[in-house]
A and B are shown apart, each in its own frame.
Chain A
Amino acid sequence: MEFMGYVRADGQVGARNYVAVIPSVVCATEVVEAIVSQTELTKGYFHHQGCCQLPPDLERVTDSLIGLGANPNVGAALVVSLGCEGVDNEKLVAEIAKTGKPVEIIRIQELGGTTKAIARGIEVAQKLVMAIAGQQREPVAISNFVMGIKCGASDATSGMASNCAIGYVADKIVDLGGTVVFGETTEFIGAEHILARRAVTPEVGEAILKIVEQMERRAKSLGCDMRKGQPTPGNIAGGLSSIEEKSLGAIVKSGTRPIQGVMDYADRVNGRKGLWIKDTPGREPEILTGMAIAGAQCILFSTGRGAPQGFPTVPVLKICGNPNTFAHLQYNMDINAGRILTGEKSIEEVGEEIFAKLLRVLSGETTKGESIRYSKTMDIYTMGPVI
C-alpha cells in the first residue's frame, strides 16, 4: 500500500511541499501575512504566542514552532522574528535545520522595520520556494503516514457514524505499520476507563487517567459547571446531554488498537508507530496545531453540525456523520458518513471510501477546505497566564 510523497532528508515523507513562514512571536504575524500574500507555495502560521509568558510556556511555544517547521509537509522554513521576543530563535532555527531542510531567519528590528522586513522576506521566501519547487513525488509505503484525528462541532451522529468510520481507518493505518495520533483530553472525561483498558502497559493506563484528572481539575478550577464550555451549546442542541456522552462518542474515532503511550503537547512522533494519545484540549486551533507538531501529514476531522476549519500546512479531511449537515454544508464536507445512519452504507464501506480518498489526498488531491483556502485555523496551547 503506497502513496506519492515528498521524501525528506530526515526520512520523513511529506504530502505537501510548502515553505512555512513562521512568526516567532505574535508581533511578527502581519509581516508574515504580507510575505505569504506575495508568494506562491508559502503558508503562514498565525499564532498568538511567543512573549510575556512564563518560561515553561516560552519553551513550549519554541518547541511547538520547531515541530511546525519540522513537519514533513514543510520543505523549507522562513522564521520571522521581531527581535526582542521570548521565543528562543537560535534553538528554533537550529532544530528545524537538523531535519536537513533549508531554514532562514529575518529580524524585523534589525532590518529597519516592517516594510523593509516584508521586502526582504519576499526575497528570501522566493529563494526558498525556488529551492524546493523542483522536488518530485515518489511512491512510498503507507507506513510513513502519521494520521492526526480530531472531532469538532459534534452531535449525536459523531459517535455513531463518522467517528466509527474514522476508527475503522485508524485501525487500518496501525495494522499497515503507520502512526495514528488522537487527543482532546477533555473529551476523555467519562470515558477514560475504557481508554486506560486499551493501554499497552499499566503505566500507560495511569498516564491516561492522570492527564484526564489534570484536565478536569483545570476545568473545575473556576468553581462552575463545565457545560456550555464542554459540551458546547451546539453539541447540546445536537442531542449530546453531557460530557460523558460526548466523550464516549468521541473516543470511538481512535478505533480499537492498543494505546502505546501519551505524548506531551509539543512532542513530535519521531519514529513512534501505532496508536498514540497527545494531551490537548478539544478546541480546534490548538489540537490541529498539536497534530501538525506531531508530524501528521493529514488530519481526519469528524463533525456532525459542520466544522469548517483547516490547517495551513496539513490537509484536513472533513468526515460528516450527519446526513442533513452533509447536504446543507456540501462545500465544506468531504465525505458523507451519514449514510451509515440512513442504512445506505456500512461502517466498513464508508471507512474504505475514506481510506481511498486519504491515499489520493496524501498523493496531492485537494480537499474541499484547501480548494477554498479555508485553512488558517491554528494556535499553540499554553498552560500559564499571559504576563
Chain B
Amino acid sequence: MGDLLALKVHDQDNVATVFANDVKAGMTVSVRDKKGRIISIEVKNDLPYGHKLAIEPISKGTPVRKYGEEIGVATEEIGPGEHVHIHNMDSQRGRGDLEQV
C-alpha cells in the first residue's frame, strides 16, 4: 500500500489535510510540508478525504492554524493525530449568535 498523504501548507500550521481515501483510526499518514519533509503520524479517528488532523497538541482555547493563519479556536484539548473539525474547533467570524445580549 502506498503512503497515505497529508499536506501541511505552512510551517506555522498545527493541522494537516488528508488527501487519501478511507483513512481509518490506527493507520499512519505521511504528513508532507512544502519543502518535501515528511513526518509520520498515527491517526486517532477515521478521516474522510480532505479533512484535517492535528500534527501537534492544540490546547483548548488556542488557535487552529492552516495556511499560516488562524482558522478557528480549539474548543477542547486536541492531541496529535486527532480529527480537527467542527466538533472540536469553532469559527470566530460571522457569529451573530455571540452578539446577542
| Chain A residues proximal to chain B, CB less than 8 Å | 155-157, 159-160, 189-191, 194, 216, 219-227, 230, 236-239, 241-245, 248-249, 304, 322, 324, 341-343
Contacts and interface: CB of A to CB of B under 8 A. Distances in A.
A234 to B, nearest CB: 11
B35 interface: no
Interface string B17-29: 1010100000000
B93 interface: yes
Given A223-B99, A224-B97, A244-B91, A157 B50 contact: yes
Interface string B50-94: 111000000000001011011110000000000011100111111
B38 interface: no
Contacts of A244: 69-72, 91-93
6 contacts: A156-B17, A156-B51, A239-B51, A244-B92, A322-B50, A342-B19
B4 interface: no
Contact of B91 (A194, A224, A241, A341): A241
Interface residues of B, number: 32
Given A156-B50, A239-B85, A220 B94 contact: yes
- Give the one of A222, A227, A245, A342 with max B CB within 10 A: A245
A239 B51 CA distance: 4
A11 B14 CA distance: 51
Given A226-B94, A244-B91, A245-B72, A324 B21 contact: yes
Contacts of A236: 85-86
Contacts of B49: 239, 322, 324
Nearest to A212: B93
Contact of B96 (A156, A189, A219, A248): A219
Contact of A243 (B7, B50, B89, B91): B91
A239 B93 contact: no
Nearest to A242: B91
A224 B98 CA distance: 8
